[in-house]
Structure 1
Amino acid sequence: MASNSKLTSLAIPAGVTEIPQNCFYNNTSLTSISFAGDITSIGSGAFYKAGLSKITIPGSCKSIGTNAFQLCPNLAQVTLGEGVDSLAEGAFRECAKLASINLPSSLRKIGAYAFLDNTSLTSVTIPAGVSEVGDAAFSNTGVTAFVVEAGNTACKAVDGVLYSADGRVLMAYPNQAAAEYTIADGCLGVGEGAFSHAQVQKVIVPEELRAFDDNAFSESALAEINFPSSVVLLGNQAFAKTQLTTLVLPENITAVYEGTFAQCEALKSVTIPAGVRTIGAYAFNGCSALTEVFCLGANPPLLDYYEGYDHPFGNIEASQVTVYVPKGTLSDYENSEWGSQFDHIVESATGVLAPESVLPANDSELESLGTLEITFATNIFPLEQYPKVTVVKGQELAGEPVVIEWGWLSYAIGQTLTVYPVDEYQEGVQPIALESGEEYYVTIPAGIVMNADGDRNQKIVLHFTGKEQSGIAQVESNECFVTQNAGLLQVVLGSLSNCTVELFNTTGHLLDRIDGAQGSVSFQPAASGLYIVRVTSGNTSKTFKVVK
């Protein structure tokens, strides 16, 4: 082994088939090496920090190991022979002078971080046969536009930007590309380090995108980005050391992870949605310009850290920040870790509405999922008739979306919000059958109802478990029902007597009311559309949805 030796040049003779792990580790004097045609593998760390300026690896060498040529400061040119099959994780990472490398048609795998931080590397053509490209393989390179040969099944280039072959993951953005970029429709995630150190300043994100992986935009010039409601994950250091000034976090994330926005020194304002339960170590550490934090949740998010140095809001002058919290929650925040960290916590003019009850009950077992009734402590009125209710099977954040035929419709009467799935004609559809034993999460977005004081609902997440189908059909009583005849809505009460019958529109506005009803009563709405009929008899009531 010649690790740390003064060896300056070496010719590997015939018969040698393997360069062992760490063989020439840290041999900074080694500037030249040649191989006979028998080498089949180069071990992990074999030439770590070696002084090589160029190298030709014969086609007999099938694999190049983990970090084999990492941190070779003078390595400028690499020639890979036809036959090389695999580049392991970090094989050529942090070779700052590497400007030229050919990837042979025999290559099948490019490991994670293989060319990470190779800032002199300006062009890459990925062969058709490459079937695997690891995370951040080309992060922080000087590549101006990626090229992928036709027929590749792992990735593709879209206007020079590297995507997975199916377009679902943006893998790498050229470091010298345009200052503004729109992520392609159909993309669901931004991969690890995809925009790291990039010069991009503004990014437009499509509605369906769900996740930003670790270091996605770290140390980039990013100053502006939109977060659609579909986003559920912002990875570790995903936006660290960027130029963001105002930040409204995605409404459906549940945590801010370690260092996600650390050292964003231009960041002045942060809005934290009600669904965030935990803010991890270093999350906003070093955001020295921060002056205001808006917390939308009634419950203070947990500030998760070990020591003062890794506090989520560490290295920020506490006296310069004002934390705004919902009406009625000041004492909860002051008595939490938030009160220990910040000098100024004030209540906003409005609060948040939390459910008093839900039907069917949260955490219950159901055969099917249809109408949901959420009751609040005060009267409410709807703000969105077609809220973006989502249902996923499996994990809350990474589960399989359950496709609804068209969407969900909502209406509010008194203190109760009702939502249910409908088709494109706004008519109710069959309840969603739930698979026995499977977990389901239903998310009702924030801000779809409001009370007279201006308080709006916070995001509501309901959990249900599928129940084995009983095989017994639910038969609805014909005692009370609604029919249509010549433009009239006729409510047949059967044996019910002394009833109150009310007609509402979908905003919850009372259009007509009949007290002391029995037998049947009729309404004649002026226009076509969806109406709600409520029949109350004693302490019980029944609601009907009718399309005229």
Structure 2
Amino acid sequence: MKKIKYVALLAIVFTILFVTKANAQTWNIGFPDTTKVKAILTGNKLVIEGKGAMKNYPRHKIWKDSVTSVYIKKGVTNIGHHAFYDCRELKTITIPDGVTSIGESAFKNCENLAAVIIPNSVTVIKRNAFERCTSLKAVSIPDNILEIEEYAFYECFSLENVLLGNGLNQIGDCAFRACHNLSSITIPKSTSTIGEIAFRECYNMQNFEVEKGNIKYSSVDGVLFNKKQDTLVAYPNGKEGKYKIPESAVVIGNSAFASSKINAVRIPKTIKTIEGDAFRYCHNLSKLKVPNSVEEIGILPFANCDSLERIKLGSGITEIGMYILSQNENLLKIKIAHKNLKFSSKKGILYNKSRDTLVMYPRGKKGSFMIPENVICIKKGAFEDCQGLTEIVIPENVTTIEAIAFQYDRNLKTVTNRSTTPQKISSEVFSYVNLKNISLFVPSDVVDKYRNTDVWKEFGQIKAIE
């Protein structure tokens, strides 16, 4: 009887093994010799075995929807590009010592991957490698890793703890961008390059530390500077309240304050350059004063500051692009220092010095506006995205209306154009505006001219000024 039971048990085990083996799927995934490395999928478990490199995969793979665990055996030397891209059910990964690189987008969108141990043999984490691993809470970067490429941990929303190894030389652009729960980071002494907006949208970030001996970077009260402390690199996004920039600073770097919770900042007279996106998305800033020392301002430095109502620009500014104050829906007043040689302001509106060119109209102003009689030019984007603007009167002297001057002004109901000669304008002047819903009023003797002139003829109604 015991013998029969034993034989039956063996038969069951054999059947299980046979069925398991029969149900397993195998792929040759080595490079350059595909047979050197194999992937074996049994149920929800994927095993990578062999000797040498994995090949780089396209973004969609046979196993992406089913695998919950991956076990890479010793002998495999790299994880290929897109290897486990979109494996949304993947929960565990075992990476052996001997793997030297983690490929581009290797674990991108693995939203259930909660932990990963990176072996010391890895020297590079490629771009987007762990992007949107939204359950990943901690990561330790071994000392042998020299580079974390751009977007490597982008939008790892749950990431709370990051330990950077002592050999790390480069942190790529946006490497830890939008890691919302990351509250502090220590930059190793070996790090010589931190890419643009590497830590932007880290909304809980309170503190940047820099190891003693780093020759490129330093930290002052938790704020990241270059070594000389003449460039402010990054202000912690999670810090609230006021901040006084130290007088050693000459440059406010790209996106330095972008997305931060700061509600007031004092810019010293030592600052000469404010780079692009410097204060973008600073939703709590209500006013800002740019000192006379500032000579250069990048693209979109004060854009999307929802609470910004007033800004004063200094006398040193010689160029003002249309995007400097873009999408500030509550901005009511733009002032500029009287001694500025190129620009002036009146009633909160920005003009050139002689006031014959309207440069920028505050996006927060509502209702109707009559452009002054002496204006001959409306600059590019001057009224762009003025959602509260309902009526505009263009004086007779205006001969030039540049591209996207009234772009996105979707609530505009009436345009009065007093010019007796319809200005030649491109379709971009009123782009994303339904002209059929707008009434155009023009001098009585030129109604027909407007009805036969490109762009102007597209208005819903063209009538004589009464």
With the shorter chain as reference, the TM-score category is: 0.5 to 0.7
Q: Distance in 1 between matches of 2:244 and 2:279?
A: 14
| Correspondent of 2:384 among 313, 321, 327 | 313
Q: Distance in 1 between matches of 2:227 and 2:96?
A: 37
2:276 is matched with 214
Work out whether residues 133 and 154 of structure 1, in 8 Å CA contact, stay in contact via their aligned partners in 2.
Answer: no
What secondary structure, in the 3-state scheme, does the structure 1 residue paired with 2:117 have?
strand
Q: Map of 1:342-381 to 2, 5 A cutoff? A: none
Q: Map of 1:27-426 to 2, 5 A cutoff? A: 27-51=87-111, 52-141=113-202, 142-220=204-282, 221-242=284-305, 243-257=307-321, 259-271=323-335, 275=342, 287-289=363-365, 303-304=379-380, 313-319=384-390, 332=397, 334-337=398-401
Q: Distance in 1 between matches of 2:316 and 2:399?
A: 26
Are the structure 2 counterparts of residues 291 and 59 from structure 1 closer, same or farther at C-alpha, using a change threshold of 3 Å?
farther
CA shift, 1:331, in A, is 5.9
CA deviations 1:247-299 (Å, max 9, x no partner) are: 233433344336432222221112366626999xxx97993446899999x98
Work out whether residues 224 and 234 of structure 2, in 8 Å CA contact, stay in contact via their aligned partners in 1.
Answer: yes
CA deviations 1:377-418 (Å, max 9, x no partner) are: xxxxxxxxxxxxxxxxxxxxxxxxxxxxxxxxxxxxxxxxxx
1:16 is matched with 76
What secondary structure, in the 3-state scheme, does the structure 2 residue paired with 1:78 have?
strand
Are the structure 2 counterparts of residues 301 and 31 from structure 1 closer, same or farther at C-alpha, using a change threshold of 3 Å?
farther
Q: Distance in 1 between matches of 2:65 and 2:155?
A: 22
Q: Which runs of 5+ in 2 are unaligned?
A: 1-56, 345-349, 352-358, 407-411, 418-466
Percent identity at matched positions?
27
Q: Distance in 2 between matches of 1:158 and 1:300?
A: 49
Q: Distance in 2 between matches of 1:337 and 1:202?
A: 36
Q: Distance in 2 between matches of 1:248 and 1:322?
A: 26
CA shift, 1:230, in A, is 2.3
Q: Distance in 2 between matches of 1:302 and 1:70?
A: 44
TM-score, length-scaled by structure 1: 0.54
Q: Distance in 2 between matches of 1:185 and 1:98?
A: 34
Q: Distance in 2 between matches of 1:140 and 1:293?
A: 37
Are the structure 2 counterparts of residues 338 and 65 from structure 1 closer, same or farther at C-alpha, using a change threshold of 3 Å?
closer
Are the structure 2 counterparts of residues 257 and 230 from structure 1 closer, same or farther at C-alpha, using a change threshold of 3 Å?
same
Q: Distance in 1 between matches of 2:135 and 2:362?
A: 35
Q: How many residues align?
A: 329
> Which of the two has greater helix per residue?
2
CA shift, 1:179, in A, is 1.1
Q: Distance in 1 between matches of 2:370 and 2:244?
A: 28
Are the structure 2 counterparts of residues 336 and 37 from structure 1 closer, same or farther at C-alpha, using a change threshold of 3 Å?
same
Q: Counterpart amino acid of 2:89?
A: S
2:16 is matched with none
What secondary structure, in the 3-state scheme, does the structure 2 residue paired with 1:256 have?
coil
Q: Which runs of 5+ in 1 are unaligned?
A: 306-310, 324-329, 346-548
Work out whether residues 41 and 62 of structure 1, in 8 Å CA contact, stay in contact via their aligned partners in 2.
Answer: yes
Q: Counterpart amino acid of 1:34?
A: T
2:459 is matched with none
Are the structure 2 counterparts of residues 44 and 180 from structure 1 closer, same or farther at C-alpha, using a change threshold of 3 Å?
same
Q: Counterpart amino acid of 1:251?
A: S
Q: Counterpart amino acid of 2:385?
A: G
Are the structure 2 counterparts of residues 188 and 301 from structure 1 closer, same or farther at C-alpha, using a change threshold of 3 Å?
farther
Work out whether residues 237 and 260 of structure 2, in 8 Å CA contact, stay in contact via their aligned partners in 1.
Answer: yes
Work out whether residues 139 and 163 of structure 2, in 8 Å CA contact, stay in contact via their aligned partners in 1.
Answer: yes
Work out whether residues 123 and 145 of structure 1, in 8 Å CA contact, stay in contact via their aligned partners in 2.
Answer: yes
Q: Distance in 2 between matches of 1:291 and 1:174?
A: 38
Q: Counterpart amino acid of 2:299?
A: N
Q: Distance in 2 between matches of 1:88 and 1:294?
A: 52
Q: Distance in 1 between matches of 2:189 and 2:376?
A: 51
Are the structure 2 counterparts of residues 275 and 15 from structure 1 closer, same or farther at C-alpha, using a change threshold of 3 Å?
farther
Work out whether residues 285 and 316 of structure 1, in 8 Å CA contact, stay in contact via their aligned partners in 2.
Answer: no
Q: Counterpart amino acid of 1:236?
A: I
